[in-house]
């Protein structure tokens, strides 16, 4: 986000296919930790759950 100067991003398609031995929620948890470490508000980069409909501007 910082390199692109983006104000919002949306994590999608995580947990759809089992490609590794990591837990289903591992990508979302890793994103949450990375956002916290970078002091980026989590509401600006949500990890959408499977089937979630996101309405944004």
Domain ranges for the chain, please list them: 1-49
Encoded tokens for 45: 């980069």
pLDDT tens track for 5-18:
889 888 888 888 88
DSSP state of 49: P
How does pLDDT run across 45-56, given as a tens digit for each residue?
Answer: 988 887 777 776
What's the chain's length in residues? Answer: 57
Mean pLDDT of the chain: 86
| Cβ 47 vs Cβ 27: under 8 Å | yes
**Prediction pTM value:** 0.76
d(CA 51, CA 40): 25
């Amino acid at each position: 986000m910082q390199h692109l100067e983006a104000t919002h991003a949306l994590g999608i398609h995580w947990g759809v296919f089992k490609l590794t031995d990591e837990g289903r929620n591992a990508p979302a948890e890793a994103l949450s930790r990375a956002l916290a470490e970078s002091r980026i508000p989590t509401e600006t980069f949500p990890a959408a759950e499977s089937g979630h409909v996101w309405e944004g501007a």
